[in-house]
Amino acid sequence: MESSTAPPVDTSLQIIGYVALLLSCCAFGTMFVPLRRRNCKDGFFVQWIECGVVFIVGCIFYVARGFPKFEPIACIGGFLYATGNVFSVPIVEGIGMGVGFLIWTSLQIIVGWGVARFGLGQWIAPQNVKNDVLNYIGIALTIVSGVLLIFVKHVEPEPENEYDVTSKEMEHRDEIEQRTSDSERSSLDMAGLAKKVPFILMAMVLACLHGLMMTPIEYLKQKNPPTDNFQVFDYIFPFYTSVFLFSTIYFLSYCVLLRRRAYVERNLVIPSIGYGLLWTAGMTLWFVSSDKLSQVVAYPCTARLPPLISGALDVFVFKSIQGSRSFAVLAISSIIGVVSVILIALSNQI
């Protein structure tokens, strides 16, 4: 397929794209705030409530856009997102947040950017930028910024959930927490690498799934050139519908398998709704920024800036990052991350 050369874009639409990009990053960077100090355990209940909010917002867009044609291909993206979410908790328990987050965010950026930049066979045409060198340097710095985040240490507060558990369940939770802590400390220990291989593979699968979740939308945009400036909103309803559908399937399977051991906590409902609203806002704005700026520009920026925003909150609001070394590493990572985002943005301008 021939390279996709973006048509001349109105300056006002580009401004909308950059504003949407920044707001999207802010939403993604703060989406876990409502869940702070909450014991989400395996996360299945939280993600189901979150995806219920996503579906409601999708219905609102469907009505607002005048009931556009339902595109089943857009549902593939929602399936990829919901499926990837299932792996996140086992990854954190198996190899720790630091290594797990490093693997899946870095590979996710490479996959999402790579598919947009070089295309995908006969389905997705490559997207060109005006300055390849700036774009490549920006991507490289984005990965470096992510690697540095692994060395930032967090001190998490105790959860506040009101949950009646037996002493055996408390002991089990302590065992899981200890195992998670141990995995953090030994995540780079070569002696234990064999045990971590399945979780590393999970992180890679998650990264690929989330890295490809915007690809069906790009396919539809190239197949059906837009007839108005916000036609991308027509794909939100099928995308969000499949997110809710598959998250419900996974949640029901979880309940059937675990039965009374399934974790359903009423105190998580409101925080999960807040989490869902922020994720939906971030994702909707990402649709806009990717449409106006191209996925080559929007994807790496949207994947890198939120962790830096979250890190800033941990330092200045929640005080969960402590120590001069962690401050220094986070500062360096943030500077490199911001520079990478600027270079990627400029690569499509000069």
Please state the rounded mean pLDDT for residues 194-212.
Answer: 84
Maximum mean pLDDT: which of 1-10, 102-111, 255-264: 255-264
Please state the rounded mean pLDDT for residues 320-335.
Answer: 86
Residues in Cβ contact with 304 at an 8 Å cutoff, skipping those fewer than 6 apart:
105, 109, 142, 145, 146, 337, 340, 341
Rounded (10°) angle between helices 324-346 and 295-316: 160
* CA end-to-end span of the chain: 26
pLDDT score of 311 more than 60: yes
Report d(CA 81, CA 240) in Å as an integer.
10
**Residue 10 φ/ψ, nearest 5 degrees:** -60, 140
Query: What is the residue type of 139?
Result: I
pLDDT score of 348 more than 80: no
At 190 the pLDDT is 55
pLDDT score of 140 more than 80: yes
At 216 the pLDDT is 94
DSSP-assigned letter for residue 323:
S
pTM more than 0.95: no
Structure tokens at 145: 């910024």
**Which H helix or E strand runs over 202?**
helix 193-212
- Residue identified by tokens 């607002």 is 64
At 303 the pLDDT is 85
DSSP-assigned letter for residue 192:
G
- Residue 179 and residue 93 in contact, taking contact as beta carbons nearer than 8 Å: yes
Structure tokens at 13: 């639409």
For 39, other C-beta atoms within 10 Å of its C-beta total 17
User: Judging by beta carbons within 10 Å of its beta carbon (0-12, 13-18, 19+), is residue 288 exposed, middle or buried?
Assistant: buried
pLDDT band at 220 (very low <50, low <70, confident <90, very high): very high
Lowest mean pLDDT: which of 6-10, 34-38, 92-96, 322-326?
Answer: 6-10
At 315 the pLDDT is 82
pLDDT in tens, 263-305: 899 999 999 999 999 999 999 999 999 999 888 889 888 888 8
Higher per-residue pLDDT: 100 or 348: 348
Half-sphere exposure of 58 (CA within 13 A, CB side): 24
Distances (CA, A) of 256 to 27, 51, 89, 235, 263: 33, 19, 19, 32, 12
| Percent of the chain residues topping a pLDDT of 90 | 38
pLDDT score of 104 more than 80: no
pLDDT band at 148 (very low <50, low <70, confident <90, very high): confident
